Amino acid sequence: MPEDLFRHAMRRILDQAGTAPTVVLALSGGVDSMVLVHLADRFRNDIGLGSRQLVAAHLDHGLRGPESDGDREHCRTVADRLGLAFRERRVDAAAFARENSLGVEEAGRLLRYRFFRDIAGDDGLVLTGHHAGDQAETILLNLRRGAHRRGLSGMRELSRLPLPPGLAVRVGRPLLAVRRERLLEYAARENLSWREDHTNEDVTYRRNHFRHKVIPLLEHLMPGFQDSLLAQAERLSAEETALAEAGRDLAETFGRREGGGRALLLRPEVTGERERYLYALRHIVEEELGARLPYGAVLSRIAEVGERGRIGETVSLPGNLRVRRESDGLFFFFPDAVAASGDGDGEVILPDPPFDIAVHGFRVTVERRDFAGTIPDDDRADPEVEWLREDSIRWPLRVRTPAPGERFRAIGAPGSRKIHDILMDLKVPRRLRQMPRLLADHAGGVWLWPFRLANRVRLPNGPCRALRVAMRRDGTILDGSE
């Protein structure tokens, strides 16, 4: 019975969702959404919805002319009769699709969930009327696109949908186990009225083609096909959950916030197990960056670039997200965000020593010391500590980003070289070459952190006054120098 399946699913969804003061009921006017709203109202106290704000939400995609007006008024009437708050919005999905190089179906989906999230907020929940037939269509469409396990496991009962840039919405689907025939039976038994969308019969839309042509044919050729497909999806969903957790752990262990984006360091522990590697990539794209992977082949392409791509090779994803192969791994970034962040490019002039201050993500400590001819062993072994000859400094010291074309002569070098070339020879990833890594004075660079000290500040063979300088960047593995 739809009632029992709905109640059990809702208890699971709300238990997982936790705090959700606002619950949005997606109300299109079709039979599945009408059954959803009716059941939510009927059992609201039984399933834990009584203390939450219920909002029926209707989006007009601007695709069906006057017919859409009838849908909206029907939905408003139903919400009023049930005593539900009602929100509606009209959009131009076709124009949005053209402006963003999307299909109309994908554009409508994105606009729909943005609308729902506007109502639900950060901690709210959206409920949709997706049913078993929608699940079967989704799995077959994902199979056609070359999906991996997650695509073949279909929609989740509760999931977090990314809404670029940087937003997400929680979506529950309490009717996912209910066949459409059962929904129709329930609607007839309860005397529910609904609106029929004539575009749902148009088989030029791919999903409608699968609904009206492909699935009935497969069911005819293989009776019980849909039930078997859904059972297999449930098994894959359990595997998906375990792998998603493993991928998240991998991404958190070897992932870094760097250069205005996210980096994944490619160590043997990351790429050694391909499934975990793929799920780590997915976690960064979807969970950390809030973007959306359109299909599994793109995920495989990113993995391939990570394993065998040339330095600088880039994969472009929807929402203007880029993934670039660098010397130590993969860099995930939105170009505009990286350009805007600058990673603290401005010059900061340091006070007279001694001091211990935070600058551009570093902790900079400078002390005056007497140098007796030998640097302490601990400092010699620490790449984030250097000793400088004090009388060679042209005060004040400052921390800044190397200027374009700026040159630097390191200890032991026959002459000066462009800092950019030095960093390239050291295989410093591109995302990190423009970070504020230069300790300088009025005459130029004195320490190209954490690699080279300038020849003019080197210590003499005998005693002198020195500066002990420590520059530490907490919690980040940089440039393969850990």
pLDDT digits (tens, 9 = 90+) for 164-203: 666 789 999 999 999 999 999 999 999 999 998 777 777 7
Reading the block at residue 463, the tokens are 């005693």
> Taking the CB of residue 351, how many other CB atoms lie within 10 A of it?
10
| Main-chain phi, psi angles of 326, to 5 degrees | -125, 180
CB 427 within 8 A of CB 383: no
CB 163 within 8 A of CB 290: yes
The string of pLDDT tens digits covering residues 75-97 is: 999 999 999 999 999 999 999 99
Average pLDDT, the chain: 87
In the numeric block, the tokens 């989006």 are attached to 59
> Taking the CB of residue 63, how many other CB atoms lie within 10 A of it?
15
The angle subtended at Cα 464 by Cα 463 and Cα 467, nearest 5°, is 130
- In sequence order, the β-bridge partners of residue 225 are none
Instruction: Identify the CA nearest to 421 among candidates 411, 438, 407, 432.
Output: 407
CA 162 to CA 290: how far, in whole Å? 5
CB 87 within 8 A of CB 56: yes
Give me the amino acid identity at 151: G
The string of pLDDT tens digits covering residues 327-380 is: 889 999 887 765 554 444 567 888 889 999 888 778 899 999 999 989 999 999
pTM above 0.85, yes or no: no
The angle subtended at Cα 21 by Cα 16 and Cα 24, nearest 5°, is 85
Instruction: Identify the CA nearest to 402 among candidates 381, 412, 417.
Output: 417
CA 163 to CA 290: how far, in whole Å? 6
